[in-house]
Amino acid sequence: MMKLAVLAAAAGSAVAFAPVQQGRVSTSVQAFENELGVIAPTGFFDPLGFTDGIDQEKFDQYRTAELKHGRVAQLAVIGYIAPEIFRWGFDIAPGIPCADVPNGVA
């Protein structure tokens, strides 16, 4: 029984290093190669294939959404950093000034 287990382990480890047949996979989409932001070494980078089979109008919607979400994320970071530097002079609730509220996640 022990010999069978050793033989199975050896065969299993040998299969792990065998070459695997792979189809040709391309992450490059030629339709959007001339868009703003395409850089020389990688070309148009879309590893998950979100732009496969879409038209220019849908691509422009994706690009607009990406810009909007990036700007919102930048504002969120500023909103997290600003209370570390500046304290507002109003009351958040009656009797609780902004200066008494601790920074960060409590």
Position 45 scores a pLDDT of 84
Position 26 scores a pLDDT of 52
Ranges in the chain, pLDDT < 50: 27-29
Position 28 scores a pLDDT of 45
Written as six digits, the tokens of 15 are 């299969």
| pTM flag (> 0.85) | no
Q: Which residues of 12-45 are buried (b: 16+ CB within 10 A; e: fewer)?
A: eeeeeeeeeeeeeeeeebeebeeeeeeeeeeebe
Cα–Cα distance list, 16 to 6, 7, 25, 54, 105 (Å):
16, 14, 22, 38, 46
Position 60 scores a pLDDT of 92
